[in-house]
């Protein structure tokens, strides 16, 4: 491991996740809830871009000029392959944060993203990032940062220490790192089976271990086994950023904007009695027992005037990105499962089920007679955005400029689906971001692009690709073993794809 990584895991690749919070358009919608202006984002940067899926999707699907760096050469190489496939001019490198910050060819940025990396790096690297934010984020610019937070991880801190000590004391250098991770998890199983006193006073530890069993070993390696792993209180982040002129604005998760899903009315009243906004946010974390934060900060934020905010609210377009049959009228957040009011959500979903983009004004006009108040309508849109079944739509001129780029990237990503199910998103020129498309659906799309229009042809092609690599279809969490079972499920998926998914993907510009 090279010294400049300062203890960061570089011998095992990270997972191929897509994070919509890194989409500047996503930030614009969140900030408008808090009456804060979002700049027109022309230049953006992601520090620690992982496999590079998010940065490439956003670069291909928008007119934003993206830059970024990542610690791992293999990940950077793959990210650069994606960029070459789309033809987009995105500058991705394998520099340390310190070297990247010293580059003379970087512009000042309107948007900077830090997904997860803050929790896994050294204090020296954090200082480099803080200095980078001071120098390179423009006034009015947006920072997205996600990180492990306290108090949610408090019960796990000691167990994580035990995990890393096990790794240090027993690791066989001849073993692959992922095997070492799996053996560590097996050790924890044996340890908890003895009913140690630590588990008795921290009963949630067993649930955490169950959750870890379901995670990819690559994820576990990066999440828990870096030398540095520091969940932080919100006030710790405030102190780190105190010299940057950044101000915390809101969560990047829309559902956190609505208190009824995460805190009770009694807790909300208690929070409103606290005048210090930083202390209030900290108390909120304790009420939720928050483990992760996904936040937008703005440097020298500007409050929008009434006319400006109304214009954005009324003219921003939205589109449904999930068949109505798949949309649950339920939200599961900190307070548990909360049922959504059908009289509010069903009219919106029925109207949007044709997958046509509409502004809030158009939705309001077309739902006249449904007795929906504007506040109910707007909150309904925010909730559907938060559930991931709706997305904001970018300007039409951006869609036309990016269509060829997204086609190139999507062709590359679908080709990857022949060999693995690592990547489950494609790039939409309509939303400027990623849309969930499963491996099987990507195989159907590939065959469709080859001119095949019959579902039988899609099924045969998908099964040929899956069986060639020894893969099988998974139904409701269970692997289907026989060819007959696999083909039957593929036929069912192909019929659904033709009826529900293909029309939607056409509107989204993916087909």
pLDDT tens readout for residues 453-506: 999 999 999 999 999 888 888 888 888 889 999 999 999 999 999 999 999 999
Please tell me the predicted confidence (pLDDT) of residue 3.
42
Q: Are 62 and 394 in contact (CB under 8 A)?
A: yes
Task: Write out the two tokens for 160.
Answer: 């994580």
Of 327-331, 350-354, 406-410, 476-480, the poorest mean pLDDT is in 476-480
- Cα separation, 164 vs 183, whole angstroms: 12
Better-scored residue on pLDDT, 132 or 75: 132
CA neighbours closer than 13 Å in the CB half-sphere of residue 347: 17
- Cα separation, 433 vs 57, whole angstroms: 6
Residue 20 pLDDT level (bands cut at 50, 70, 90): very high
Please tell me the predicted confidence (pLDDT) of residue 460.
94
Task: Write out the two tokens for 6.
Answer: 């300062």
- Cα separation, 34 vs 382, whole angstroms: 13
Please tell me the predicted confidence (pLDDT) of residue 14.
58
Give the three-state DSSP class for 125. Answer: helix
Q: Are 247 and 301 in contact (CB under 8 A)?
A: yes
φ, ψ of residue 352 in degrees (nearest 5) = -85, 0
Q: What is the mean pLDDT of residues 289-317?
A: 92
- Given a cut of 70, whether residue 9 has pLDDT beyond it is no
- The angle formed by the CA atoms of residues 70, 76 and 79, to the nearest 5 degrees, is 120
Please tell me the predicted confidence (pLDDT) of residue 173.
67
Number of Cβ within a 10 Å radius of residue 306: 8
Of 62-71, 219-228, 257-266, the poorest mean pLDDT is in 219-228
Please tell me the predicted confidence (pLDDT) of residue 4.
40
- Given a cut of 60, whether residue 13 has pLDDT beyond it is no
Q: Which residues contact 439 (CB under 8 A, 6 or more apart)?
A: 417, 420, 421, 424
Would you state the torsion angle of the CA atoms of residues 483, 489, 492, 495, taken in this order, to the nearest 10 degrees? -60
Q: What is the mean pLDDT of the chain?
A: 90
Q: Are 155 and 204 in contact (CB under 8 A)?
A: yes
Number of Cβ within a 10 Å radius of residue 439: 23
**316-393: CATH topology:** Arc Repressor Mutant, subunit A (1.10.10)
65-69 vs 43-47, strand pairing mode: parallel
- The angle formed by the CA atoms of residues 459, 463 and 466, to the nearest 5 degrees, is 140
Number of Cβ within a 10 Å radius of residue 61: 32
Angular region, 27: left φ>0, alpha ψ -120 to 50, beta rest: alpha
Domain spans, the chain: 3-149+230-299, 154-224, 316-393, 439-507
Query: pLDDT tens across 77-116, in order?
Result: 999 999 999 999 899 999 999 999 999 999 999 999 999 8
- Cα separation, 240 vs 381, whole angstroms: 34
Stated pTM of the model: 0.88
Better-scored residue on pLDDT, 442 or 228: 442
Give the three-state DSSP class for 163. Answer: helix
- Cα separation, 12 vs 219, whole angstroms: 9
Yes or no: is domain 3-149+230-299 CATH 3.40.50.300? no
CA neighbours closer than 13 Å in the CB half-sphere of residue 137: 30
Please tell me the predicted confidence (pLDDT) of residue 1.
35
Query: pLDDT tens across 21-58, in order?
Result: 999 999 999 999 899 999 999 999 999 998 999 999 99
Counting residues of the chain whose pLDDT is more than 70, the rounded percentage is 96
Indicate the angle between helix axes 157-170 and 177-192, nearest 10 degrees: 120
Residue 171 pLDDT level (bands cut at 50, 70, 90): low
Please tell me the predicted confidence (pLDDT) of residue 384.
96
Q: What is the mean pLDDT of residues 211-223?
A: 78
Alpha-carbon radius of gyration of the chain? 23
Q: Which residues contact 374 (CB under 8 A, 6 or more apart)?
A: 364
Q: What is the mean pLDDT of residues 410-421?
A: 92
109-115 vs 137-148, strand pairing mode: parallel
390-393 vs 317-320, strand pairing mode: antiparallel
Please tell me the predicted confidence (pLDDT) of residue 481.
87
Please tell me the predicted confidence (pLDDT) of residue 24.
96
Query: pLDDT tens across 468-483, in order?
Result: 888 888 888 888 889 9
- Given a cut of 60, whether residue 7 has pLDDT beyond it is no
- Sign of dihedral through CA atoms 392, 379, 252, 297? positive
Q: Which residues contact 135 (CB under 8 A, 6 or more apart)?
A: 101
- Given a cut of 60, whether residue 12 has pLDDT beyond it is no
Please tell me the predicted confidence (pLDDT) of residue 359.
93
Q: What is the mean pLDDT of residues 130-148?
A: 97
Residue owning tokens 């109304």 = 310
Please tell me the predicted confidence (pLDDT) of residue 229.
81
């Amino acid at each position: 491991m090279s010294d400049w990584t300062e203890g960061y895991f570089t011998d095992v690749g990270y997972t191929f996740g897509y994070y919509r919070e890194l989409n500047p358009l996503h930030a614009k919608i969140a900030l408008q809830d808090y009456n804060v202006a979002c700049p027109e984002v022309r230049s953006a940067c992601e520090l620690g871009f992982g496999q590079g899926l998010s940065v490439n999707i956003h670069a291909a699907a928008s007119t934003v000029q993206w830059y970024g760096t990542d610690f791992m050469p293999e990940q950077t190489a793959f990210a650069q392959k994606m960029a070459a496939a789309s033809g987009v001019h995105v500058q991705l490198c394998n520099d340390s944060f310190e070297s990247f910050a010293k580059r003379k060819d970087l512009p000042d940025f309107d948007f900077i993203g830090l997904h997860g990396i803050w929790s896994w790096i050294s204090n020296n690297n954090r200082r480099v990032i803080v200095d980078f934010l001071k120098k390179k984020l423009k006034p009015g610019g947006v920072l997205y940062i996600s990180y492990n937070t306290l108090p949610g991880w408090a019960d796990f801190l000691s167990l994580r220490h035990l995990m890393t000590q096990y790794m240090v004391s027993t690791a066989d250098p001849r073993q692959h790192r992922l095997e070492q991770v799996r053996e560590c998890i097996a050790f924890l199983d044996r340890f908890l089976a003895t009913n140690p006193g630590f588990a008795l006073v921290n009963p949630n530890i067993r649930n955490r271990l169950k959750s870890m069993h379901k995670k990819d070993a690559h994820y576990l390696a990066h999440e828990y086994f870096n030398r540095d792993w520091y969940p932080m209180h919100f006030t710790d982040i405030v102190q780190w950023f105190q010299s940057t002129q950044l101000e915390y604005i809101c969560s990047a998760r829309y559902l956190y904007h609505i208190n009824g899903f995460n805190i009770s009315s009694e807790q909300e009243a208690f929070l409103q009695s606290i005048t210090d906004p930083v202390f209030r946010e900290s108390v909120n974390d304790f009420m939720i027992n928050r483990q992760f934060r996904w936040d937008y900060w703005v440097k020298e934020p500007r409050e929008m005037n009434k006319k400006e905010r109304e214009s954005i609210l009324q003219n921003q377009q939205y589109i449904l990105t999930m068949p109505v049959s798949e949309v649950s009228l339920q939200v599961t957040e900190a307070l548990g499962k909360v049922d959504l009011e059908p009289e509010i959500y069903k009219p919106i979903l029925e109207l949007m089920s044709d997958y046509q983009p509409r502004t809030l004004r158009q939705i309001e006009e077309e739902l006249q007679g449904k007795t929906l108040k504007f506040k109910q309508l707007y909150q309904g849109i925010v909730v559907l955005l938060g559930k991931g079944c709706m997305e904001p739509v970018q300007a039409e001129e951006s869609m036309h400029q990016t269509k060829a780029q997204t086609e190139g990237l999507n062709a590359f990503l679908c080709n990857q689906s022949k060999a693995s199910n690592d990547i489950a998103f494609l790039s939409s020129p309509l939303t400027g971001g990623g849309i969930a498309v499963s491996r099987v659906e990507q195989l159907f799309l590939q065959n469709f692009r080859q001119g095949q229009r019959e579902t039988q042809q899609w099924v045969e092609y998908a099964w040929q690709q899956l069986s060639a690599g020894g893969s099988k279809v998974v139904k409701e969490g269970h692997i289907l073993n026989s060819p007959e079972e696999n083909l039957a499920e593929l036929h069912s998926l192909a019929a659904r794809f033709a009826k529900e998914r293909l029309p939607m993907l056409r509107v989204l510009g993916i087909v």
